Structure 1
């Protein structure tokens, strides 16, 4: 069986990468966090956690954010 990286470190790195992609797209569109989380109907704390990579976001949350940003959810997860 291959050796896998520590789950916590791997998950943290992955969540941060997703958050970075969300933030980059939001800033590219010159939008505020507030405009995105309100349009996505996601709580402020949840949205900020997604961007920071500290929240284990639900699929529905990522789908809502992607829709508001006008990107496919796979663009955030790649």
Structure 2
């Protein structure tokens, strides 16, 4: 999941900061999710997906 979030973010030419601020999550939580060292709660994943303009399933499925 973290890889898919990172790839989507990079394809949109966005910084981690722009995503975690817009998604209203902490820098450390976002970095851990993107690095794959932490799983996102459903609400957090929904906010990240919304911020990136994709559906949650796009971030869950390869």
Tell me which interval the TM-score lies in, with the shorter structure as reference length: over 0.9
Equivalence for 2:36: 53
Equivalent pairs counted in the alignment come to 61
Q: 1:63 aligns with which of 46, 51, 59?
A: 46
Residue 29 of structure 2 is aligned to residue 36 of structure 1: no
Instruction: Give me the TM-score of the superposition, normalised by structure 1.
Output: 0.76
Moved over 4 A (4+): none
* Cα drift, residue 57 of structure 1: 1.2
Q: Distance in 1 between matches of 2:39 and 2:54?
A: 20
* Cα drift, residue 42 of structure 1: 0.8
Gapped regions of structure 2 (runs ≥ 5): none
Q: Secondary structure at the match of 2:8?
A: helix
Query: Greater RCO between the two (CA within 8 Å, min separation 6)?
Result: 2
